[in-house]
Structure 1
Amino acid sequence: MSVMDGLQQKLQHQLECIYKDIDIDQSINQLVSRLIEIMRISEFSQVPEPFVNHWSEKDTIMITYGDSILQQGERPLTTLAQFIDSYVGCINSVHILPFFPYSSDDGFAVIDYSSVNESLGDWADISAIASKRRLMSDLVINHCSSRSLWFENFCKGEGPGHDYFFTAQPKDDLSEVVRPRTSTLLRPTETPTGTQHVWCTFSHDQVDFDFRNPQVLIEFVTIIRQYLDAGVSIFRFDAVAFLWKIVGSKSINLVQTHEIIRLLRTLIEHAQNDAMIITETNIPNTQNLTYFGNANEAHCIYNFSLPPLLINTLITSNCLYLKRWLMSMPPAQDGTTYFNFIASHDGIGLRPAEGLLDDDEIQTLVDTMKDFGGKISARTTETGEQKPYEINIALYDALQGTTKGKDLWGMQRFMCAHSIMLALEGIPGIYIHSLLGTRNDYEKLANTSHNRAINRHRWELDELKQQLGDAQSTHSQVLSAMTKLINIRTQQAAFHPSATQFTLHLGLQLFGFWRQSRNRKQSIFCISNVSDQVTDLPINELNLVISEHWVDLLSETKIEDITQTIQLQPYQTVWISNKG
């Protein structure tokens, strides 16, 4: 069977699964041919090998807005590129959050998917960054701006977009719909045929697409091709869990959503073998894991449970819940891996902690973050109850103390969190404000009245340079310490994202796990004191091989006696390896 025959058969099956209950204007065969044409796949295209890992221990992704750093008279994307080259050479990949024209939600209400926001730069700036580092871009696939041309055409009832949006009726049974916002689901909109009620999962400025119309799929495949041409090689599918809607259902995680992801992976991989998909599905952990499929959906899934569990561990000095979760996480099969992070442009999601932390633990976490200046965003449950959905706070502030209050261990606690995250199975993602130790931005919060603004600071480059040039500055110390950690990590084969991982049992104050390289030559025991007390680590409990030479990679201290007990200072981490 030829490349094209196999691809056509696969796409036909996937499209039949998606549209099996829907009458569409064109045949499945026509749609298959159109998608292949858009992606420019031919007989000469390379067939993607299954279960191939497109990552290594060298990979770390920095998450940033295009305008997180500003220099007067210079395009922000140019400034960002210069900052990356000058200060974070240890990072080989960058996720630039939506860099398109937008109307709200700091980029996630896209007006035009085919353009770069003029206030940031242009496609040449995007491609310049992609020429030096792997570039990750958002595909805001669930919704677009109500100010987009497509939605304007919907309101006029003619032109591209007039039939791109999902509508329902107020009388419909929408009681089971799961969504992360408290606003009303339906937006009344006047059209030539009367009032239409447009589905809005997030806000009334973010109008949801109707993928029952194949033309919407065609539009997004066209967008994907354009992004590949610009140098994007990692696609973050934003809010993809909500993609397919069925009135009377929860309208989340539906089978058609999973099939669309599989279809897009098929197309992307045939167009560019090493391109990747990361699904952004901020949902309970068991549901999140389903987005791996059988190594045929997302290459990576966000480890959304990690931030609340890790922060809970460090403010309570108790790793019980974190350890239970880690033990329950299945090793990702080849061709898939986890995307680990503990801070992002959004807040600390609490839904992924549901079922992992009990209500009292979550409330304690919420109360502690409030004490450290954080804000709490809520969602409406199926029963109409208001429930904490997200904590909005800068990570450096989140770790300034424990449930007992603020203390003097903030820096150590902050670095402990990253020492754990960087060592875990998966690819690490680090928010630019974690690299810089940025604090809560109360001025931006007050100016915007949006809780998430507290962790979306914009640095003036000259001020940032001054801070980073001062060895006594917290920002300088954080960047230096983070750079050292990342550089050590990238040299360890045992930290390959797909290397073996086992959880250690060392009590509640010591959180530990063991990593082994894929060739079994290197082992690293990653152990952190998650408390504010000096804690003993009995080395003999690790069962180190006596014939090997062991060293803590972080302190460069040799382990001369594997029967000894060493003392870990508050929030100290050791990476004990036989390949120092």
Structure 2
Amino acid sequence: MVPTLRASEIEACWHRIVRCEIASAEPCKTRTLIFPIGVWREICFLVLTMKLIRRTTFSRMKLRLARLYGPEMAEELADRLYMLIGRYGVQPRDGYEMGADAINWTEQDVVLITYGDMIRRKGEKPLATLKNFCDRRLRDAINGVHILPFSPSSSDGGFSVIDYREVEPALGGWNEVQRIGRDYKLMVDLVLNHCSRESEWFQNYVRGIAPYDRYFIEEEPGQEWLKDVTRPRPHDLLSPTETPEGLKHIWTTFSADQVDVNWESPDVLFDFLDILLDYVARGAKIVRLDAVAFLWKKKDTNCIHLPETHEVIKLFRDVLRTVAPHVILLTETNVPHEENISYFGEGDEAQMVYQFALPPLLLHALLKGDSQYLQKWASGLGDLPEGCSYFNFTASHDGVGVRPLSGLIPESERDWMIERVKERDGLVSYRAMPDGSQSPYEMNVTYRSALEVIGNPELGARRFICSQAVMLAMAGIPGIYFHSIVGEHNWTEGPQREGGERRDINRRRLSWREVEELLDDPEGESGWIANVYASMLRVRRSCSAFHPDAGQDIIPTAGNLFAILRTSLDSERKVLCVFNFAEAEEPLDQAWVTEILGHEPTRNLLRRKRKLDSTDWNLGGYECVWFE
């Protein structure tokens, strides 16, 4: 067994080796620790690691550890962090200083969001089927794939993880995951707020086995301060659990099966750092930090967005700057907008955050035929810290969150939208409030069904495409849920199945044959949506004005219109995107367009023809143009 050495001991030993103070035939000694010559190579590598890590970076990491666990533990934990980084290796990239980021996103970046088994084909592992589908249907439309949790899980669509280091055998294995990662930018979930009751961690906790006896949070029910804890769900915060020491009440933010881990234990931190770096070693380019806002718990607080939570993310960022500076951290914080963007920090935290306000604001604007609230919000987004961007989306495996609307639209408008979604067979999930009441948390519906024009499905499909064109035009990196690619409607049978839940309404799995038939039907809505969507993606990926960092200006318009001006980083290309949010036709003023662009437009990028004609200047119901 290799002895555990402090970083200072390793470096001192290395200097003795270099000065030939230790004969090559003798074992190396430092204090009372003895290890064989065969360990020298590892020592050399670890010392090289220490030499490569910038002193300022390491000092910053050590300071973060002190803030989290106290100055008295910082030295020991810093040594432990050295060892962990040494195991995975320091990987400077050409042209980048160690400790700096190496992010190189472009307008080419588009991420497909999907479960590993969204498409199934007989005789083939679902992850292999997913890869084949992307290669065949989406190769020129996307360059990234977000595989939603693919580890063994006991509930919540994969988000109750049993074993973080394994792939669910029914989906495939690490080979299939890594094959996707070789051809596409791989995005994975780090579910770090909670794990499954069936996990080895929790089973060891129940048995009282160290260090897992400190991996979970015990509280006595009935304490007054617990009423102020921010809740995303309506069930009880604490779940009873039998242990050898008697009945314990364990913190469970999301469900009784999803047990919150105790980040006050440094062992939890190092387990997750190891898992994070393992994912990176297996090809992850984007790491989504699931439900990270709830990470740290502290008595007499609301237990959301605590300073320690931000410190953990910053520590992750520092470690990745050292080990894998090209990897992006993406925080999943379904909260009001100002709280959401706090996870950029000062450019030292997450490089991307979900644009959570966009899906409900855009849905409200299109259902209402009035973009006033969307315009006000979008025009106030402001500049981001350097090296940061938004992850834009309209739909995901979850519902359309309404918490991000807080302060952006009146509650009466939110409630009006919820009623319209219910009319389209959507469902609503609720969360518990401190006074014991319940408040809407999300609308469970596919984005296509939410935008249905009742009695006119063709117009509904056009309204859905308009929504996707808005999302693609906005500054940031687009993420597209699988069911949006094919315009999937609500799967109303899903929530009604035994063990079903509201979110299943937009989680239907399809067979390869079903998908092929949908996409190849020349008369079908799904095929039309998929073709138009793929065409928009190809246009977006070929235009530098849609670079994630390119300029974005929201042009004031009448409420039934929405307009975005995008300007490339070199100012050589400008694209004016105009959207009609109403059913009625809307003529556009050519002089207005020319004034905004600074020149007469020569083409509409969304049409294949090269020259403009009268049809480009009269927007039909829910039509859009991208003028250049």
TM-score, normalisation: structure 2? 0.88
Retained in 2: the 8 A contact 1:39–1:267? Answer: no
Retained in 2: the 8 A contact 1:53–1:334? Answer: no
Call closer, same or farther: CA 1:25–1:159 in 2, change over 3 Å: farther
| Runs of 5+ unmatched residues, structure 2 | 1-49
CA distance in structure 2 between the aligned counterparts of 1:400 and 1:50, rounded to whole angstroms? 47
Q: CA deviation at 1:26?
A: 7.5
CA distance in structure 1 between the aligned counterparts of 2:597 and 2:396, rounded to whole angstroms? 39
Retained in 2: the 8 A contact 1:8–1:32? Answer: no
Call closer, same or farther: CA 1:556–1:81 in 2, change over 3 Å: closer
Q: CA deviation at 1:254?
A: 0.4
Does residue 115 in structure 1 map to residue 166 in structure 2? yes
Query: For 1:398-547, what aligned pairs fall within 5 Å after superposition?
Result: 398-401=450-453, 408-447=458-497, 448-542=499-593, 543-544=595-596
Q: Which residue of 2 aligns with 1:33?
A: 82
Retained in 2: the 8 A contact 1:53–1:336? Answer: no
Does residue 259 in structure 1 map to residue 259 in structure 2? no
CA distance in structure 1 between the aligned counterparts of 2:591 and 2:276, rounded to whole angstroms? 53
Q: Which residue of 2 aligns with 1:571?
A: 622
1:29 alignment partner AA: A
1:54 alignment partner AA: N
Q: Which of structures 1 and 2 has the bigger CA Rg?
A: 2
CA distance in structure 1 between the aligned counterparts of 2:110 and 2:390, rounded to whole angstroms? 12
Call closer, same or farther: CA 1:546–1:371 in 2, change over 3 Å: closer
CA distance in structure 2 between the aligned counterparts of 1:171 and 1:444, rounded to whole angstroms? 36
Q: CA deviation at 1:120?
A: 0.3
Q: Which residue of 1 aligns with 2:60?
A: 10
Where is the helix percentage greater, Structure 1 or Structure 2? 2
Retained in 1: the 8 A contact 2:66–2:73? Answer: no
Call closer, same or farther: CA 1:516–1:48 in 2, change over 3 Å: farther
Q: CA deviation at 1:19?
A: 1.9
CA distance in structure 2 between the aligned counterparts of 1:209 and 1:546, rounded to whole angstroms? 55
Retained in 1: the 8 A contact 2:211–2:267? Answer: no
Instruction: Look up the SS of the partner of 2:359 in the other structure.
Output: helix
For 2:342, which of 290, 300, 312 is the aligned residue?
Answer: 290
Call closer, same or farther: CA 1:8–1:552 in 2, change over 3 Å: same
CA distance in structure 2 between the aligned counterparts of 1:540 and 1:463, rounded to whole angstroms? 48
Retained in 1: the 8 A contact 2:92–2:324? Answer: no
Deviations 1:34-70 (A, max 9, x none): 3423443379996456576431000000000001001
Retained in 2: the 8 A contact 1:166–1:199? Answer: yes
Instruction: Look up the SS of the partner of 2:526 in the other structure.
Output: helix
Call closer, same or farther: CA 1:48–1:519 in 2, change over 3 Å: farther
1:309 alignment partner AA: L
CA distance in structure 2 between the aligned counterparts of 1:513 and 1:285, rounded to whole angstroms? 20
Call closer, same or farther: CA 1:434–1:123 in 2, change over 3 Å: same
For 1:82, which of 123, 132, 140 is the aligned residue?
Answer: 132
CA distance in structure 1 between the aligned counterparts of 2:545 and 2:244, rounded to whole angstroms? 62
Q: CA deviation at 1:556?
A: 4.5
Instruction: Look up the SS of the partner of 1:550 in the other structure.
Output: coil
Instruction: Look up the SS of the partner of 1:339 in the other structure.
Output: strand
- Of 380-389 and 122-131, deviating more is 380-389
The percentage of aligned residue pairs carrying the same residue is 36
Instruction: Look up the SS of the partner of 1:100 in the other structure.
Output: coil
Instruction: Look up the SS of the partner of 1:442 in the other structure.
Output: coil
1:422 alignment partner AA: L
For 1:152, which of 190, 203, 206 is the aligned residue?
Answer: 203
Q: CA deviation at 1:18?
A: 1.6
Q: Which residue of 1 aligns with 2:254?
A: 202
Retained in 2: the 8 A contact 1:527–1:573? Answer: yes
Query: For 1:235-250, what aligned pairs fall within 5 Å after superposition?
Result: 235-250=287-302
TM-score, normalisation: structure 1? 0.95
Q: Which residue of 2 aligns with 1:66?
A: 116
Retained in 2: the 8 A contact 1:102–1:108? Answer: yes
Instruction: Look up the SS of the partner of 2:122 in the other structure.
Output: coil
Number of positions where the alignment pairs a residue of Structure 1 with one of Structure 2:
573
Q: CA deviation at 1:24?
A: 5.2
CA distance in structure 1 between the aligned counterparts of 2:243 and 2:597, rounded to whole angstroms? 73
- Of 2-11 and 464-473, deviating more is 2-11
CA distance in structure 2 between the aligned counterparts of 1:211 and 1:380, rounded to whole angstroms? 24
For 1:164, which of 202, 211, 215 is the aligned residue?
Answer: 215
CA distance in structure 1 between the aligned counterparts of 2:483 and 2:598, rounded to whole angstroms? 42
Q: Which residue of 1 aligns with 2:227?
A: 175
Q: CA deviation at 1:461?
A: 0.6
For 1:56, which of 106, 126, 131 is the aligned residue?
Answer: 106
CA distance in structure 1 between the aligned counterparts of 2:510 and 2:613, rounded to whole angstroms? 48
Retained in 1: the 8 A contact 2:330–2:352? Answer: yes
What CA RMSD, in Å, does the superposition of the two structures yield over aligned residues? 2.2
For 1:346, which of 375, 383, 398 is the aligned residue?
Answer: 398
Q: CA deviation at 1:565?
A: 9.6
Q: CA deviation at 1:224?
A: 1.2
Q: CA deviation at 1:25?
A: 9.9
Q: CA deviation at 1:161?
A: 2.3
Q: Which residue of 2 aligns with 1:359?
A: 411
Q: CA deviation at 1:156?
A: 0.5
CA distance in structure 1 between the aligned counterparts of 2:381 and 2:459, rounded to whole angstroms? 30
